[in-house]
Structure 1
Amino acid sequence: MGKIAVYPGSFDPVTNGHIDVIKRASKVFDHLIVAVLVNDRKKSMFTLEERIDILEQSVQGLNNISFDSFSGLLVDYCDDKGIDAIVRGLRAVSDFEFEMQMAQMNRKLSEKVETVFLTTSAEHSYLSSSIVKEVARFDGKIEGLVPEYAIIKMKEKLRGE
């Protein structure tokens, strides 16, 4: 199958910054798995199934991408799936310190998996799922921040549908 990478995250919701990284990583690797983290300690807006659905709808047309979920250590997931690299997006210098620590720890746990950093495009460098949710909760404009399908699903969720 060639070089396989994973792009992990909570994607609650997926933002246009995430989509940017997914599209660019899909050009670098033969296959990209977008893996949604299952974290029972974190209260999510969307269920796991909803997050995967929004991701699938948001990156249609990219043929070398699949979607999955995981819990526990990412390096264990990588070992189980035969993954060569972890893709992480960097928005700002402040992200780098945390991501570097995680990459070093992952490298300590498994020397088989490399971490590859992709900087987010400048127009998305301020975006985070948390910020988008906060703006949406106050009925602010989220167009251009998340994919159209995510906007629809967020509005439904906030209306209690």
Structure 2
Amino acid sequence: MKRIALFPGSFDPFTKGHQDIVLRALNLFDEVVIGIGNNANKKRYFPLELMKKHIESSFREQTNVRVISYDDLTARIAREVGARFLLRGLRNTTDFEYENGISQVNRFVYEEIETVFLITSPHLAPISSSIIRDLHRYGQDVNEFLPYSLTEG
């Protein structure tokens, strides 16, 4: 049976920290599906289609990574794409507290789903999408934190 993991998030933007989690997860799973979810509580800063294009270009060499967007419960999408695992990155204990609750609810929706947490690589731990958005909003170049360039298409 193929081991498929869904890596869900708003990815607004997708960072080098996110990329690191996906690349490391490829050692554990046959396929990683990056799911850009529509979070009703968040207004996107970067357009979803632009982010999808950038993420796809970041993994063009990895044929076992694909990118989807969705507007549904994450656990339902995992079942739909054949994923038995949800992949999440943890930078700190605050991330764990937040993710732990979500993982419990996902098991309620899809009993067979397992959440797998990978600890963020230390040199990437300070990077967060919200910090990058703030820097970008005020004109700071953020390309060093991203696996693609925002200044190109």
Query: Is the TM value for this pair above 0.5?
Result: yes
Q: Which structure has greater helix proportion?
A: 1
8 Å CA contact 2:10–2:37 kept in 1: the answer is yes
Aligned to 1:101: 101
Aligned to 2:64: 64
TM value normalised by structure 1: 0.87
In structure 1, the gaps of 5 or more residues are 157-161
- Paired residues in the alignment total 153
Equivalent pair of 2:14/2:129 in contact (CA under 8 Å): yes
Supply the distance in 2 between the matched residues of 1:38 and 1:102 (Cα, whole angstroms): 16
The answer on whether the counterparts of 2:20 and 2:121 sit within 8 Å (CA) in structure 1 is: yes
2:9 paired residue number: 9
Written as runs of structure 1 = structure 2, the 5 A alignment for 1:64-83 is 64-83=64-83
What is the CA–CA distance in structure 2 between the aligned matches of 1:119 and 1:152, rounded to whole Å? Answer: 30
Give the CA deviation at 1:25: 1.1
One-letter amino acid of the structure 2 residue matched with residue 100 of structure 1: N
Deviation at 1:95, TM superposition (A): 0.5
1:152 is matched with 151
Give, in angstroms, the shift of residue 41 of structure 1.
4.5
Q: Does the CA-based 8 Å contact 2:54-2:148 persist in structure 1?
A: no
1:121-154: CA deviations, max 9, x gaps? 01111111110011122222424211232x325x
* 1:32 and 2:32 aligned: yes
TM-score (norm 2): 0.92
CA distance in 2, matches of 1:86, 1:142: 28
Query: How far apart in 2 are the matches of 1:59 and 1:112?
Result: 28
Q: 1:43 is matched with which residue?
A: 43
Q: Gapped runs of 5+ residues in structure 2?
A: none
Per-residue CA distance 1:42-99 (angstroms, 9 max, x = gap): 2212222111101011222112111111112111111222211000000111100111
Provide the secondary structure at the position in 2 that maps to 1:63.
coil
Give the alignment's Cα RMSD to 1 decimal.
1.6
CA contact (8 A) 2:21 2:120 kept: yes
Partner Cα distance (1:106, 1:124) in 2: 27
Same amino acid, percent of matched pairs: 35
Aligned to 1:159: none
